[in-house]
């Protein structure tokens, strides 16, 4: 919950709040309605699905697109770290989706 509250508080030295007002309002609404616990389970499931999809080369394009959505949401919330680099790599994976289908489970799933 601390990262959620830190994302909606005004900027101080050392904190990185959500820089877009619409996303800050979305996070504030989730905090007020206490739906952040269920949403954090969605984040965990989404991260696992993206990671396993990319690891096993299964539905690679969809996994990378899900990763793009998650990384964009993390950057809206003010968490930068390695997210811009990973976002760029996931965009490249989506572009190379058809050639990625020659390896892994995608060879069977997407004939």
Per-residue confidence of the chain (111 residues) as pLDDT tens digits?
A: 567 677 777 666 555 566 677 878 888 888 889 888 888 899 899 999 999 988 888 888 888 889 889 888 888 877 777 878 888 888 888 887 767 666 677 777 766
pLDDT of 46 = 92
Q: Which long-range contacts (CB under 8 A, 24 or more apart) does 92-98 make?
A: 93/54, 93/60, 93/61, 93/64, 94/61, 94/64, 94/65, 94/68, 97/60, 97/61, 97/64
Domain ranges, ordered by start, for the chain: 2-9+19-97
Summarize pLDDT for 23-48 with one digit per residue, the tens: 788 888 888 898 888 888 998 999 99
């Amino acid at each position: 919950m601390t990262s959620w509250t830190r994302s909606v508080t005004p900027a101080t030295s050392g904190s990185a709040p959500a820089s877009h007002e619409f996303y800050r309002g979305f996070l504030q609404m989730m905090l007020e309605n206490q739906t952040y616990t269920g949403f954090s389970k969605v984040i965990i499931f989404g991260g696992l699905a993206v990671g396993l999809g990319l690891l096993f080369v299964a539905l690679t394009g969809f996994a990378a697109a899900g990763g793009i959505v998650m990384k964009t949401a993390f950057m809206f919330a003010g968490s930068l770290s390695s997210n811009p680099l990973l976002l760029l790599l996931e965009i490249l994976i989506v572009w190379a989706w058809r050639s990625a289908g020659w390896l892994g489970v995608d060879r069977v799933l997407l004939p």
